[in-house]
Chains A and B, each alone.
Chain A
Amino acid sequence: MAAPRKVACVEIGGIPIALSTCDDRFLDLLRQRYNGFLSSSPPEFELEFDLTDTVPVSDDDVSVRREDNNEGNKKDWLIERGDFCARWNPRTGQGRVRQNANPYSLDSVLRILHSLILAERGGFLLHAASAICGGRAYLFSGVSGAGKTTMTRLAPANITLLTDEISYLRPSADGYAAFGTPFAGELARAGENCTAPVSALFFLEQGPENRVDELTSAEALRRLMRNILFFAEDHRLVEKLLATACDFVARVPIRRLTFYPDARVWELVRNFDRDFGRGFDRNFQGVPEHV
């Protein structure tokens, strides 16, 4: 008789997902890793984990594609990398994952699943640090080494860290909201499980002085798209994601932030709303046209 499954419900970005396993040690790992994001809310989705023999975390490219299941024309998402294989039915919300007990594989599966759910709901995951300052969320994106973790390390004590690595963004009534995530980067510290309306997105560059520069809407979109975490080979979802990115560019001020790595840069961030205004629609120089 199979061992009973035990469940931990992990709620990231307001989306509770039940993670179940027969393995007590893996359950402990889940609870420990996502401590602060555990939830008693009824789950919207479920993933059952079946553990396999140890396979090293893979640098192979991930493959995320839709595949026929046993329900005729209904299609499951098939998510594969060297160290895991997952199948998830978006209609039933249920899925199954085969992986070893490695937490990095677990993080990857969850990130990909959230990226699929978010894409349908007009949100996305962004390779960016984010933090709440004065009740508003600020995002800091850029290539590796641009300063995401540095910005979070320089943050004053009254700043709430949402993440130093993967920002979680969903549309809201007045723009977009950023949510904390447990997905940590170099800081090796999970974000706080809270949310705030997004005030601005900064693309980071380190330099000899602190300054904020405008970006054209096209440049803002170009940089945004290059930093969105998206893995699915799916035409419809790609169209939706591009539309979401255009909407984000229209509604959220996006700037280049050149900074000298000391705490004074946070004064610039803190005063952004006052100095630049809450410039929704300020990025756009034209209405995006669907082709």
Chain B
Amino acid sequence: MSENCIYIARSSAIAARALAGEMMVMNSADSTFFTLNEVATAIFQAADGHTPLREIVREKICAQFDVDPEQAQADAEQFVAELSGHGVLIVSNHPLAAEAP
């Protein structure tokens, strides 16, 4: 998958709460529970389905955290792949419509 055309959206099957700078995410499909750190939370919150991941990394990560852009992009792609594997994020080469719960 080309990194320039990754779009991400939050799954409708999850419940999430932000607490003390961390995002608590629970997947209703299997009751698995995840805690996201600040950087991951920023990506998760920006996962609107139509903003490319590269733009999210540039605007929400590199602009707010002291990170190397290439490393940030690589880390973001890995994070997205992991959460996608757990059904928390939906990933596509095309813009995604928001999922109705």
Contacts and interface: CB of A to CB of B under 8 A. Distances in A.
A244 B12 CA distance: 20
A291 B18 contact: yes
Contact of B24 (A222, A235, A236, A284): A222
Contacts of A230: 31
28 contacts: A216-B20, A221-B24, A222-B24, A222-B33, A222-B35, A225-B26, A233-B29, A235-B12, A235-B13, A235-B14, A235-B28, A235-B101, A236-B101, A238-B15, A238-B28, A239-B15, A239-B28, A242-B15, A242-B16, A242-B17, A242-B26, A246-B19, A285-B19, A285-B20, A286-B20, A290-B16, A291-B44, A291-B45
Contact of B17 (A237, A246, A285): A246
Given A235-B101, A237-B28, A241-B26, A286 B33 contact: no
Nearest to A230: B31
A289 B20 contact: no
B22 A225 contact: no
B50 to A, nearest CB: 17
Size band of the interface chain B makes with A? 20 to 34
Given A225-B33, A241-B26, A218 B12 contact: no
A-B residue pairs, 8 tightest by C-beta = A238-B28, A239-B15, A289-B18, A291-B16, A235-B28, A285-B20, A218-B22, A225-B33
A243 interface: yes
- Looking at chain B's contact residues, the main secondary structure is strand
B19 A218 contact: yes
A231 interface: yes
B28 A218 contact: no
A185 B1 CA distance: 49
B85 interface: no
